[in-house]
Chains A and B, each alone.
Chain A
Amino acid sequence: MARRTMQETVHTTIRHKARSGESSPKSIGFLVILWLAILFALVFLTVLIVTTFIDGWNRLDSRLFTEYPASDPEDAGARPAILGSLWVIGTTALMTIPLGVAAAIHMEEFANRHHWFSRIVEVNVQNLAAIPAVIYGMLTLGAMGLMGVSNKNQVWVGALALSMLILPVVIIATRESLRAVPSEIRQGSLAVGATPLQTVVRNTLPAAVPGIATGSILALSRALGEAAPLLLLGGLVFLSFDPNGLTSGYTTMPIQIFNWTSRPQAGFHELAAAASVLLLVMLLAMNALAILIRNRYQKRW
């Protein structure tokens, strides 16, 4: 008899809980709001991509890759802009990754974290990552002025601005991946008589490479889509040749798109949409590569 009462009590308790539980009107209402928020973002993005795709469909052909900018939209292409983007991003990568990784190794593995200097650097790296891109363009412009470089439309100048833009991001990503390597690994290495430098080069850094690669690719994809700092540095030029070196003149895809959209002819708008699709595909490919590396080489300790 007593047992039965107990069972009944349990039943009622469960039913009571249900009123404020997962299936209560409040919870469901909240869930619906969350779904709507996601839906809004997704619909917005889809509409954007689809309209761009439709607009640019007619011009998504080989001319985009082979032709130089021209006054007639039918003859125009983005060849120098595509090559310029590759040149600038490649140079940026070569400048940023070694510097960023080295800085992160110093900060994470060697610097005394409690020293006032390390703290200042640390806070500033965090802050620099949040500074708008155009500021780096102005900084580079000012620096070039001081150095007496009058022709700012050079690949290395643009790459310098983008390097400064993404350097903090690369440093932060590298530090995160170094930190994710368990300290037991470092201790194990030191315990067999390795020096701290050997420990970093042979053990910690290789274990952190997937994270560093992912972070760097994402940072570079941000640089690839950036137009503002390069506009300040005279990247908006009419090029009828392929960029061919660090001191070569250049333009990049975002600038080319910006240029075409400001033209009155509808043909240029189509071209801009086509180039946008291409840029989007490049960015998605880079991000996909980053995700692939992360999933493929992710270590479980």
Chain B
Amino acid sequence: MNDIRNTSVAPERTGSTNTIVHASARPSLEVPVLDCDSVSIFYDDFRAVHDVNFACLRNEITALIGPSGCGKSTVLRSFNRMNDLIEGARVEGAITYRGEDIYGPEVDAIEVRRRIGMVFQKPNPFPKSIYDNIAYGPRVNGMKVDSMDDLVEEALTRAALWDEVKDKLKQSALGLSGGQQQRLCIARTIAVQPEVILMDEPCSALDPIATLRIEDLMQELRNDYTIVIVTHNMQQAARVADKTAFFTAEANDTTGDRTGVLVEFGDTATIFESPHDKRTEDYISGRFG
């Protein structure tokens, strides 16, 4: 059922009904949803990230924090193979989704992205109606749905946007406010029924109130999805995340290239209150970065 090598769309996931299958309804598995094993990421010869090891568990929020240029976004984008779009990008080591190598030879990047959705830094609704924004994913994936209207309503409801837009579904999504647009992008991601949602600084373009709404939403979504979030905002990581990975950039002695490394990974409380590594402590307490 979760075989990502199955390149055809998986109608059995939607079944005959259009209700979104809850991740929590699936049998529990010991295997982490996402697992990085000695992952290094290169852009041509440049080593952007070196030897990263951590795992994201089901129904948990994992935050990736660290100063600019530490490779946290690069790691996030390698989880759904969005890095494939950058010329010369290459991953060494293994990133596994439920035990399967995402970069395996038989794996289709399209299928990976369907299972592992992504919300971007800047809200990027399609220049279409609100309704079509949500229906886009199910349509391109050929998902069999009994009623697209119901699916759109459910996705928007889950993204806490339904009440605000239910009377203007046919209007352009570009007319929404920034915060609404970002929740629309979350709804759009939910609509294809992924298991993992990656969020790349989803609140950096939003005001504090819109940010809080997204954070509340993430807490609700955690019940059904596994979330990985990159954030510059340490308070945000402390507020929402179960686990936190702290990255930093280290300069290469000979070339001077800055390579991202994972300094510390653990429970958010541990990272923020009693970090084991001096660098983490310095960053958390605002001494650098």
Contact = CB atoms under 8 A, between A and B. Distances in A.
Interface of B: 80, 82, 85, 87, 110-111, 113-114, 117-118, 120, 122, 124-127, 136-137, 139-141, 174, 185, 188-189, 191-192
B87 A114 contact: yes
Given A189-B136, A191-B117, A193-B140, A182 B124 contact: yes
Contacts of A198: 140
A294 to B, nearest CB: 16
Contacts of A106: none
Nearest to B188: A192
Interface residues of A, number: 22
B67 to A, nearest CB: 24
A188 interface: yes
A206 B129 CA distance: 13
A203 interface: yes
A301 B140 CA distance: 23
Contacts of A58: none
A121 B125 CA distance: 33
Contact of A191 (B82, B122, B127, B174): B82
Nearest to B133: A188
Given A193-B113, A195-B110, A188 B140 contact: no
Interface in A187-231: 187-195, 198, 202-203, 206-207
Given A114-B87, A192-B192, A187 B140 contact: no
Nearest to B123: A184
B185 A188 contact: yes
Contacts, number: 72
A193 B114 contact: yes
A70 interface: no
A159 B42 CA distance: 50
A187 B120 contact: yes
Q: Which 9 A-B pairs have the closest CB atoms?
A: A193-B114, A192-B137, A184-B124, A194-B140, A191-B118, A188-B124, A198-B140, A193-B113, A207-B127
A185 B141 CA distance: 17
Contact of B80 (A114, A191, A299): A191
B85 A187 contact: yes
Interface string A100-141: 000000000000101000000000000000000000000000
28 contacts: A114-B87, A187-B118, A188-B120, A188-B125, A188-B126, A188-B188, A189-B140, A190-B82, A191-B82, A191-B120, A191-B189, A192-B113, A192-B136, A192-B140, A192-B188, A192-B191, A193-B110, A193-B111, A193-B113, A193-B137, A193-B192, A194-B136, A195-B140, A198-B140, A202-B136, A202-B139, A207-B127, A299-B174
Contacts of B82: 187, 190-191
Interface in A149-181: none
Contacts of B139: 202
A191 B113 contact: yes
A184 B140 contact: no
Name the residue among B80, B85, B126, B137 with the largest chain A CB count within 10 angstroms: B126
Interface string A23-48: 00000000000000000000000000
Most buried by A among B120, B124, B139: B124
B120 A192 contact: no
Nearest to A181: B127
A155 B206 CA distance: 58
